[in-house]
Chain A
Amino acid sequence: MPRVRRDHPHWEHGLSARLKSERRGHLAAGTVIAALVVASGCATGHVAPTTTPSPTTSATASTARPSATIDTAPLPGMLSVPNANPFPSTYAPFPSRTTVIRGATILTAAGPALHDASILLRDGKIVAVGASVDVPPDAVVIDGHGRFVTPGIIDVHSHMGVYPAPGVDANSDGNEATDPSTPYVWAEHSVWPQDSYFPRALAGGVTTVQILPGSANLIGGRSVVLKVVPSRTVQGMKFPGAKYGLKMACGENPKRVYAQRGPSTRMGNVAGYRKAWIQAAEYRRRWDKWNADHKGEPPARDLGLETLAEVLRGNILVHMHCYRADEMAQMIDVSHEFGYQIRAFHHAVEAYKIADLLAKNGTAAAEWADWGGFKMESFDAIRANLALTNRAGARAMIHSDDPLGVQRLNQEVAKAMRAGAAAGIPVSDEDAVKWMTINPAWALGLEDKIGSLEVGKNADVVLWSGTPFSVYAHADKVWIDGALLYDRADIAEHWRTDFELGYVPADSATARAAR
């Protein structure tokens, strides 16, 4: 019950999940020493251990994995650190069958809606999509008449795993609220793969999520991008090759959480960001120099500054919680001062006030359909926010920040569409679907792999019972990399977490009665 939370003796913990979410953050900057290995050219990212203080054991572990499960090679800039990838993904696609969905309305997020169209999924990829496709003899053929197909939904703002269900203190691992700047923490080290929210998100058509630290801190820590799949380990959920994100937060939360020790004001917040970036720039310079000449002892490693330096090199994407328009404008100036890019503002309830600025700066805005009012910086929330942001040419996207909201991002998009229409800014289905697919894919730097139904892309696909923008819609089937991970009709196969066994009736998470 909401009331339970509200009455919690500690105000900070007693506020809504969304306030908690904002507080939940920490960045873990940790592993990446910025410049160390550039010179080695090591394609695997595993650096010669002799020059690196510690992180070599994970390299050994990862090389022992079957080749099919080794993460993709680190990005070029990542070679600048001692071990760019100490916790490599072990994800491997689930077994899949060649599948054709026929006769459906397909919202590709890459062009006009295709009516009475088909899509072919094979070997984890989208092989064909169009008015008709060749049906291989071994294909499972699904009748899509009356139904809709979209790309898998992507949520760029989730705390699943780090604030799991049940929401007990013992599992509450989302905010390292011990210092206003904690770039040294990594969200993945808090993710509990047995979080019962994960299967529910999948049943809502969500296939990829970014798990962020909370928003207590100015610099909260590293995010991790996960596929919404059952796994014993978080490594088994990690999206191969996805860049890390850096969670930062504006405004009320940091200054409230650290009111006693500082920052206690917004100007204190900004001083905190700048102080951190000054240190990061210096750290990066020292390592870049050492990597270039290898003279003398390497500089001492600093887990937090490694992450910040990687941001400055463009290898980690900044995701910044920021409500107010004027603050977003200031954060953009800070980013210009230090030469990094803010990939997306999250909870950008006032994006509509500066949508032109966001468009000009190439910064996306992750927004709610109608949440607001719970604190001063959220008070000017309007439901036409996405439509107005979109119209100004900025990248708008829906996000949840909530383990229940993540299950119906399609509904949230629908509400935002309605608000747009009411404001005289109608948004087509073709555009609106981008708010939950290709735009968040771009925010994660994964737009070449997921987010639209185009040949060659990962077969992350949702088959909806009808238009996904209806309150009555259900995700009937969900594929990730071509594998059918959720089938509403097949209750026996529904993913159940370890925690749920014995406690939660088998079909409660995902079986929804037919209308």
Chain B
Amino acid sequence: MTRCNPTVVIAAVAAIGGAIGSTARAQTVAIVGGTVYPVSGPKIERGTVLIRDGRIVAVGANVPVPSDATTIDAAGKWVTPGLINAITAVGVDEVDAVPETVDQTAVGDNGIAASFTVVDGLNPASQMIPQARAGGVTSAVVVPGGRLVYGQAAFVDLVAGPASALVVKAPVAMVVQIGNAAQAHLGARGEVIDRLRGLFDDVRLYERHPADYDRGGLHRLSAPSRDLAALVPVLAGREPLIVFADRASDIENAIHLGHDYGIKIVIAGGAEAWQVAPALAAAHVPVLTGALDNAPQTFSTLGQRQDNAARLRRAGVQVVIVGNSDTEDVGAFNVRNLGQDAGTAVANGLLWDDALRAVTLAPAELFGLADRVGSLAVGREANVVVWSGDPFELSTRAEHVLVRGHEYAEPTREDLLTQRYKTLPPKY
């Protein structure tokens, strides 16, 4: 790989030694001459993105470049916001088959792990972070796994630094599944629903009578107080509830739950979401889905199809494309492949502009972070990628990746292996 320009490496090292993970200090960067896709507005030919102190300070066709600016020549290149992969295990799943490197899933209490904050296990030294970043993915949602109530997801920027520096917002959502009774160690779909309703009822009870709970004055509730407390913002409609659901009827049940409890529902997976697209649109329920699955892999995904995203979008549903290019979503090795999913969604009918939005501004909006990430607009964090071409095309490379205004160009572990073995036998 070619990302080992020595001067840039030095810059990266300097940044790591300094204000790690935070904004590069007093640095002005101008990305000039590229076709700029702000996502929040129309594309700009031969545009400039001006960055100062980690934030975007100007975007346009006629932006003066200060004399002290570091200039990136983007002539002939495509400039977009950094991609956001909204379902990942980045930083909490290094080697999937080595349990000591995996911190994604809590045991919980009867399948309920609402108080589990997956980000507490985030490993900022994970090699998956630079690997994803080198592919142009600058933010990710770290999502817990689990049985019924998985726990709390976190939104992170893929910067170098301590774990706390990566976090943009945590918790950013609560995560549950609906429709897989066996996974929940329950007997039937209806029992899954019943368990969730009982839990939500108890959250309300707990919220009204926390002192009674502490005194043991309430009936036996369905979860420990810490779990109930963690669900309070969800029941208040402040924190979204990501519901993994594939079968159309499961998705409908999730919509009903949201309606009955005033919960802001987000569907993840959503294999058959297209079948209930009008209901999703009417309830303003977004869908996080990939574009590579198209087979009846289970009895819950019989209607899975690759134009799912396109159909949902046409019906007015907010769609976020998530990367499942690594088809079984094991580990975080291919968080970088998000563009392939977006491109495949386009090949199956999604408009290109909608696809770009679905991996940038749409997830930012969904998680209430559109004022910080997801677009190239003044005031936003300077998460910017300069691509050699169409960011979804398989021949395209992310040539410059900036997160919070800092360009990351040091070689990844993959790059180092490649360099070592480019000559056989290797020198070592």
Contacts and interface: CB of A to CB of B under 8 A. Distances in A.
A513 B349 contact: yes
A166 B244 contact: no
A373 B421 contact: no
How large, as a class, is the contact surface on chain A? 35 or more
B324 A2 contact: yes
Interface string A484-505: 0000000000000001100111
Contact of B147 (A7, A196, A200, A414): A7
Contact of A422 (B2, B180, B303, B330): B2
Dominant SS among interface residues on chain A: loop
B96 A388 contact: no
Nearest to B344: A471
Contacts of A382: 414, 417-418
B331 interface: yes
Nearest to B98: A376
B206 interface: no
B96 A7 contact: no
Interface string B328-369: 111111100101100110111100000000000000000000
Contacts of A376: 95, 97-98
A18 B304 contact: no
Nearest to A415: B394
Nearest to A410: B394
B400 to A, nearest CB: 14
A322 to B, nearest CB: 17
B395 interface: yes
A472 B343 contact: yes
A2 B340 CA distance: 18
B294 interface: yes
A422 B397 contact: yes
Contacts, number: 197
Point out which of B128, B147, B303, B333 has the most chain A C-beta atoms below 10 A from its C-beta: B333
Contacts of A415: 340, 394
Contacts of A196: 295-296
A505 B307 CA distance: 13
Interface residues of B, number: 69
B305 interface: yes
Dominant SS among interface residues on chain B: loop
B303 A374 contact: no
Interface in A390-409: 392, 402-405, 407-408
A449 interface: no
B97 A200 contact: no
B62 interface: no
A50 interface: no
A3 B244 contact: yes
Interface in B1-18: 1-2
A264 to B, nearest CB: 16
B177 interface: yes
Contacts of A513: 307, 310, 348-349
A111 to B, nearest CB: 23
A336 to B, nearest CB: 20
A239 interface: no
Contacts of B300: 1
A94 interface: no
B38 interface: no
B296 A165 contact: yes
B326 interface: yes
B302 interface: yes
A392 B422 CA distance: 10
A2 B329 contact: yes
A487 to B, nearest CB: 17
Interface stretch (A75-83, A175-183, A349-357): A349-357
Contacts of B418: 352, 382, 384, 388, 423
Contacts of B307: 512-513
Contacts of B271: 1
A471 B145 contact: no
Given A355-B424, A403-B295, A372 B393 contact: no
Across the A-B interface, give the 4 residue pairs with the lowest CB-CB distance, nearest first: A513-B349, A471-B343, A373-B333, A2-B329
Interface of B: 1-2, 94-98, 105, 128, 145-147, 177, 180, 183, 244, 246, 269, 271, 292-307, 310, 324, 326-334, 337, 339-340, 343-344, 346-349, 392-397, 414, 417-418, 421-422, 424-426
Given A7-B145, A375-B98, 20 more contacts: A2-B327, A6-B330, A15-B330, A19-B97, A165-B295, A196-B296, A373-B94, A374-B330, A380-B417, A404-B292, A404-B327, A417-B395, A418-B396, A469-B394, A472-B343, A472-B347, A504-B296, A504-B302, A508-B305, A515-B346
